[in-house]
Homo-oligomer: A and B are copies of this chain.
C-alpha cells in the first residue's frame, strides 16, 4: 500500500451505530429511506468490487465505503481501489456493520451507491435480443437470482415491472452476486408501458406460464426462440395474472418430464433464458 493511501485512512476511532453517517446509511436498508436518499447499499466484497468497476465505467457513483477493521484487512485491494477512486472510507465497528447488514453474517464491507436503474428507453435502446421482465415478483432473493441468470445468459436488460420488489433491496443485490451492476436495470410500475416499450424495441413478449399449452421444446423446434424475446416472469406464488398473459404475444411452459408440479421462478427463468440465448446464438 502506498503512503498516499495510508495517509487517507481514518485514524480516529471507528464509527459506531450511533454516528450520524451510520444512522443515515442505516435508513438505506429500507425502501422509503432508499427512495428518499436516492442511494442504496451494496454489501460484501463481490458487490463492492463490482460497484467500483461500475462507477469507474461512469455508470453511477459510489459515494462512500463503510468497513470494519477485519474486513479492511481481508479486502485490502478493494479498499485501495476505492481510495484511488477518491471514495471516502469510513471505519466502522462490528456492531455498526451488523446494523447496516441485511444478512445473517454481516460482511463488514458496504458501499453507498447511486441507484443502478436507468429509464426504460435507455435499458431497451439499440436492438435488444433478450430481455427479462419481472412482474409482481415479491421475493428479493428470487429477483436477484433472476438478474444473475439474465446476466449469465448475456441478456440486454432486466425490467422490474408492476409490484415487483425494489432491485436495490439488500437481499436482491446479494442474490445477484454483483450482476445488478452488470446489465441495464429499469423499473416501471405500469406494466402496459413496459410491454409497449418492448414491442417498440422489436421484442416478442413471451409469458413464462406453467399452464401454457405450448412448451419450450416445441417453440425451439419451430424456431420461435431465435426471435428477439422479452420473457415475462410472474410471482413465485401466483405466476402471471391472466390479464397480463392476455396482453402478451404468446405463453410457453418449461416441459415437465417427471412428477413435479412446476419449477420455482429462478430455475424456470434459467431454463427459459438459456433456451433463448442458445437459439439466438445458433442463428448468428
Contact = CB atoms under 8 A, between A and B. Distances in A.
Interface of A: 46, 145, 148-155, 175, 177-179, 182-183, 217, 254, 256-264, 266-271, 274, 277-278, 281
Nearest to A146: B267
Given A145-B267, A264-B145, A266-B266, A151 B259 contact: yes
A257 B130 CA distance: 12
B258 A151 contact: yes
Contacts of A268: 270
B217 A254 contact: no
Contact of A148 (B152, B153, B263, B274): B263
A152 B263 contact: yes
A278 B46 CA distance: 34
A282 to B, nearest CB: 9
Contact of A274 (B264, B271, B277): B271
Given A148-B263, A183-B259, 8 more contacts: A148-B267, A149-B263, A151-B258, A152-B263, A175-B264, A264-B266, A267-B267, A270-B270
Contacts of A261: 46, 177-178
Contacts of A175: 264
A240 to B, nearest CB: 19
Contacts of A254: 152, 274
Contacts of A256: 152
A49 to B, nearest CB: 10
Contacts of A270: 263, 267-268, 270-271
A277 B46 CA distance: 34
Contact of A259 (B145, B182, B257, B278): B182
A148 B261 CA distance: 9
Contact of A217 (B150, B266, B278): B278
